[in-house]
Amino acid sequence: AQSVAQPEDQVNVAEGNPLTVKCTYSVSGNPYLFWYVQYPNRGLQFLLKYITGDNLVKGSYGFEAEFNKSQTSFHLKKPSALVSDSALYFCAVRDEGSNYQLIWGAGTKLIIKP
């Protein structure tokens, strides 16, 4: 069965330091991978996606993610964290064989401290 795991409930990073939010997945077929961010009392905002091609994907707000097929991972990264990056981050995957469902991780709360 398809699944997404975000092993960390919360990640704490000092402002200016690099950040990584981890995601691993399990799907049949080729994965379509996504990162979304959710601010308090707001809907989800699309950050970036991997469909095919270069394993390093660049997205909004300076975020990037690295697809690693052998480790079935899609970790979200940013070279220098901002306090405004503090939010809830979700990883999601869509199985190539499915037109419909996004399977979501439970989310990781990112806290950037000044």
Partner 1 sequence: ETGVTQSPTHLIKTRGQQVTLRCSSQSGHNTVSWYQQALGQGPQFIFQYYREEENGRGNFPPRFSGLQFPNYSSELNVNALELDDSALYLCASSLFSSDSYEQYFGPGTRLTVT
Q: Which residues bind partner 1 (CB under 8 A)?
A: 4, 32, 34, 36, 41-46, 49, 51, 90, 92, 94, 98-107
Dihedrals phi, psi of 85, to nearest 5 degrees: -80, -10
Q: Is the dihedral of CA 75, 81, 85, 86 positive or negative?
A: positive
- State how beta strands 24-26 and 3-5 pair: antiparallel
Cβ distance to partner 1 smaller for residue 36 or 63:
36
What is the nearest approach in angstroms of partner 1 to the Cβ of residue 21? 13
User: Whose Cβ is closer to partner 1: residue 43's or residue 114's?
Assistant: 43
The minimum distance between CB 110 and partner 1, in angstroms, equals 15
Nearest to 24 by CA among 43, 39, 2, 42: 2
CB nearer to partner 1: pick between 11 and 107: 107
Sign, Cα dihedral of 29, 49, 109, 79: positive
State the minimum distance, in angstroms, from the CB of residue 102 to partner 1: 6
